[in-house]
Structure 1
Amino acid sequence: MTSEQSLRKASYHIGIFAVSKFVSVMGANIVAFGISLYILKLTGSATSFSINILCSIVPRVLFSPLIGYMADRYNKKVLVISSQILTVVTVAILLLYANWQGMSIMAIYIMMVFYTIFTSCSGITLTASIGQLVDQDRIQKVMSLNQLSMSLAAIGAPMIGGILYGFVSIEVFLIIQIIAFSISTLLDATMNFNLYKTEKNHAQKSEPFLKSMKSAYHYIKNRKTLKTIITLALCLNLFFSAFAVGISYVLVEVVQFKSLHVGWIESIGAVGMLLASIYLTARKNLKNPILFSKRALLILSTMFFLFALPLILFELTYIQLFIYYGITSFLMTMTEVCTNVPIGVILQKSIEESYRGRVFALFETLAMGMMPFGILIYGFLYDYFGAPSVLIGTGIIVISLTLYLLRTSVLKQMKEEQLNENSQEDKFAEA
């Protein structure tokens, strides 16, 4: 295949990836919305709702390392397509069971466990395949389009789900999921997952699972760029649980917004995410992604203070508070995208093809493990110390952490490491 043909095929991959991602995420979000409301309506129990959330987190934490190992060892396209087909089969079995025996909470829990395993497999493997689907110069575009798809789904899914829930049964939501994932599977099947596959990956040794994961750990440990970014990302995942818990707590319990207006503020935030994704998709490649991400993260850290400001310094009317928190939510999601996308680009470019599955899997395992831990801690902190103290304290910690982990000397080391790796890759390509 000539260079021009490869570029045309890569352009095709970019479009297919964006459409496939949007369809699958939209379908998944609509179903998640419908099932959540169904469980709450059927049981009226927060515990039942929490168990459903655990069924979508715990399997991902437990199985991600194995999925990463498989993604590096076996054919990525076969893994992606097979796991997507199994996702469709899992939802179809629940649909048949509901028509045969009637829907039950236990059946939903069981479905959610297998659903999470299969979607994690397709998600991690597809992420690890990006460097093989497109050329290095357009990885930023792919990562931005990925974020754009999730932004559009975040805006559209609750609206569609809310409308449908009042008129159709839960079985219709499952049919939507089956159709969405079937379309996504057919689209992904048309892509060439070996378009930019390196020879280096063909020479990869087959290792036992534990030894393979250990080598991935040492691979991260011996690379300053990866070690710094992953350490920073994991810390942020912990401390930004303050927002996951705090936004709803502040808006509902402290400010006492109506639930409808809380939804509007969240929608305004989704628009900010959408605009930032469009901006990063359209603009040229960032010359220094990590520096861009650092600046965005420092701006994002100030949102902790902005959320606390009306609670301690001045009083605003209900309408003024709504406008204030709408703008703050908009800015927060914009800077969040501007932080996350460059980090994703760096990870895609920094990780060797033969390690991508395991590195992304280890990252997801640790990140998902941090989430419930952080939510639990911040639930306690908000109850005992109040929102202003927690938000301001967390903001100070995040700013200090960013300035330390991404200090000038570290950024220079990371840049030198990137130049050395690029030089080695060029020599390998010439050979």
Structure 2
Amino acid sequence: MEQEIMLEKSNPILWNVQFCLLYLSRILKVMGENIATIAVVWLLIEMGGDALSSSILFVCSSVPRTLFGPFVSPLLSNEKYQQWIFFSDLFRAITLGLVPILYLSNHLYLWLFFLLVTLQASTGAIYSQSVIALLPRIVAKENIQRANAIMQSSSEVIKLVGLAGAGLLIMFMSTTSAIFLTAVLYLVSALIILFVKTSNYYEQNNNLEELSDERKHQNSKNESYLKRLWEGFEIVRQHSLLNSMCLLVIFVNIGMAPWSALSALFVYQELHGDASTLTLLRISTALGALAMGIVLTKVKIKRLGALFVLAGIVEGTSLLVTGLSDWIWMIVFCCFVMGITLTSFDVPEYVIIQTTVPLHQQAQVYSVITMLGNLFVPIAFVSAGIIANWFGISIVVIIGGMVSIISGIIVYKKSSLSKMTLAET
């Protein structure tokens, strides 16, 4: 027993069983999500879906998850994040499992298909914010950056594996088989999360005053649901660092929207490439994200705010160069850099929330920033398509890059976010 304790203290991430369980659950969930991304769209095509139904499917699969988060966060129990994650994955397993069953029995009507996709996407918001709040309860505070880096970089690689796996499953088996496998992955993820324990590790590795404040908040019965709902928005509005971070997230997501929506067409029309070219770009992005994740597991960054702001500016610069260049290997390099900035953007965001926000409010704050950060993305998608039809895809990608660069410079000049050090948390 003493030897196990010494190992955990010397390497508290890799030897923390609770983190390993959460990590495995997350990997399975990300794998399932990305298989479903391809399989669900392909099933819609097999059902005779057109461009309009494809757009509706995109809205059903992305918008509810963004908007639903802040409304469910006040309901999350501080002591039962594992149960909420279990419920989220179990519900998604059931709703997705119904899709192939109804389709094979000729009872999957289009409206019912959209409803099931909407329901599973909505409950996906529970998983994301619960993990953000659960992680500080199973990992010591000094290792929060490393834990987030491990999970984020691994997720980017698993996304790529999931997308490729979906194609192989559909090619050699069937679309319904791929969706059913997704349901199984969600179910296994749900079962694994039930074994994650927080009480002993959490109480031994966190400040007793923080624990006392959290329990006082938890035992309070006077706050209404609406008050707790608004509390998340108020924290983001009043907290100068979170306010600046949220603004940068909004504009960087808007700047990235043209590339996210039109990268396939960019490869086809501007580079005269094919699916293998697009795959090369996505692999380059995933490798960049993985490389930066490995760096962040080894190097302790004290000025996380500066890294966050710099990532936004560098990402914008990469988009700008991508839009201006027609040399494939330059664009591959830019995609690699964008992968680096993806991890450099996400990990500081998580760590700043987990180290500056009270434990019982972290899920609410994360859900609010996520919702606001993605609120204008659908509009940006549509606008990018319209502008691209008029002026070309390269112009839209350049505009997106400029939006990210300008917003990053403004936040750097006008906010104290870039001056924040880890010691201040």
Q: Is the TM value for this pair above 0.5? A: yes
Q: Residue in 2 aligned with 1:88?
A: 93
1:305 paired to 2:320: yes
Q: Residue in 1 aligned with 2:120?
A: 115
When the two chains are superposed, the root-mean-square deviation of aligned CA atoms in Å is 2.7
- Between 1:258-267 and 1:71-80, the stretch displaced more is 71-80
Contact 1:265 1:322 in 2 (8 A): no
Q: Residue in 1 aligned with 2:191?
A: 186
1:55 paired to 2:60: yes
- Cα distance change, pair 168–396 in 1 and its aligned pair in 2 (3 A): closer
Q: Residue in 1 aligned with 2:264?
A: 248
Contact 1:133 1:196 in 2 (8 A): yes
Q: Residue in 2 aligned with 1:66?
A: 71
Query: In the alignment, which of 182, 204, 216 is matched to residue 177 of structure 1?
Result: 182
- Between 1:98-107 and 1:341-350, the stretch displaced more is 98-107
- Between 1:182-191 and 1:5-14, the stretch displaced more is 5-14
Distance 1:363 1:277 in 2: 22
Deviation at 1:309, TM superposition (A): 2.4
Distance 1:221 1:408 in 2: 16
Deviation at 1:4, TM superposition (A): 4.6
- Cα distance change, pair 247–185 in 1 and its aligned pair in 2 (3 A): same
Distance 1:113 1:128 in 2: 24
Equivalent position SS for 2:416? helix
Query: In the alignment, which of 326, 337, 360 is matched to residue 366 of structure 2?
Result: 360
Q: Residue in 1 aligned with 2:337?
A: 331
1:226 paired to 2:232: no
**Amino acid in the other structure paired with 1:309:** L
**Amino acid in the other structure paired with 1:163:** L
1:267 paired to 2:280: no
1:200 paired to 2:205: no
1:293 paired to 2:308: yes
Distance 2:97 2:403 in 1: 47
Deviation at 1:156, TM superposition (A): 0.8
Equivalent position SS for 1:57? helix
- Cα distance change, pair 345–43 in 1 and its aligned pair in 2 (3 A): same
1:24 paired to 2:40: no
**Amino acid in the other structure paired with 2:229:** M
- Cα distance change, pair 413–158 in 1 and its aligned pair in 2 (3 A): closer
- Between 1:138-147 and 1:321-330, the stretch displaced more is 321-330
Contact 1:25 1:149 in 2 (8 A): no
Equivalent position SS for 2:300? coil
Contact 2:66 2:125 in 1 (8 A): no
Deviation at 1:246, TM superposition (A): 4.4
Q: Residue in 2 aligned with 1:317?
A: none
- Cα distance change, pair 264–397 in 1 and its aligned pair in 2 (3 A): closer
Distance 2:365 2:230 in 1: 11
Deviation at 1:412, TM superposition (A): 7.3
Q: Residue in 1 aligned with 2:163?
A: 158
Q: Residue in 2 aligned with 1:410?
A: 416
Q: Residue in 1 aligned with 2:351?
A: 345
1:216 paired to 2:222: no
Contact 2:232 2:364 in 1 (8 A): yes
1:42 paired to 2:55: no
- Structure 1 segment 380-419 matched on structure 2, within 5 A: 380-407=386-413, 410-411=416-417, 414-415=420-421
- Cα distance change, pair 94–308 in 1 and its aligned pair in 2 (3 A): closer
Deviation at 1:13, TM superposition (A): 2.2
Deviation at 1:74, TM superposition (A): 6.8
- Between 1:58-67 and 1:352-361, the stretch displaced more is 58-67
CA distances 1:187-216 after superposition (whole Å, capped 9, x unpaired): 211112444262211111342222112222
Deviation at 1:240, TM superposition (A): 1.8
- Cα distance change, pair 74–376 in 1 and its aligned pair in 2 (3 A): farther
- Cα distance change, pair 95–393 in 1 and its aligned pair in 2 (3 A): closer
CA distances 1:314-348 after superposition (whole Å, capped 9, x unpaired): xxxxxxx3323222212221222222212221122
Equivalent position SS for 2:375? helix
Contact 1:40 1:46 in 2 (8 A): no
Q: Residue in 1 aligned with 2:83?
A: 78
Contact 1:33 1:161 in 2 (8 A): yes
Contact 1:220 1:359 in 2 (8 A): yes
Distance 1:120 1:393 in 2: 30
- Between 1:197-206 and 1:181-190, the stretch displaced more is 197-206
Identity of aligned residues (%): 18
- Cα distance change, pair 135–373 in 1 and its aligned pair in 2 (3 A): same
Deviation at 1:383, TM superposition (A): 2.6
Distance 2:319 2:176 in 1: 41
Equivalent position SS for 1:43? coil
**Amino acid in the other structure paired with 2:409:** L
CA distances 1:8-47 after superposition (whole Å, capped 9, x unpaired): 6982222222221111111221122112122124325122
**Amino acid in the other structure paired with 1:98:** Y
- Cα distance change, pair 102–388 in 1 and its aligned pair in 2 (3 A): closer
Equivalent position SS for 1:27? helix
- Between 1:352-361 and 1:71-80, the stretch displaced more is 71-80
Query: In the alignment, which of 134, 147, 152 is matched to residue 147 of structure 1?
Result: 152
Distance 1:121 1:103 in 2: 26
Q: Residue in 2 aligned with 1:429?
A: none
Distance 2:89 2:314 in 1: 38
**Amino acid in the other structure paired with 2:345:** T
**Amino acid in the other structure paired with 1:355:** Q
Deviation at 1:180, TM superposition (A): 1.0
- Cα distance change, pair 40–413 in 1 and its aligned pair in 2 (3 A): same
Deviation at 1:253, TM superposition (A): 2.0
Deviation at 1:279, TM superposition (A): 2.4
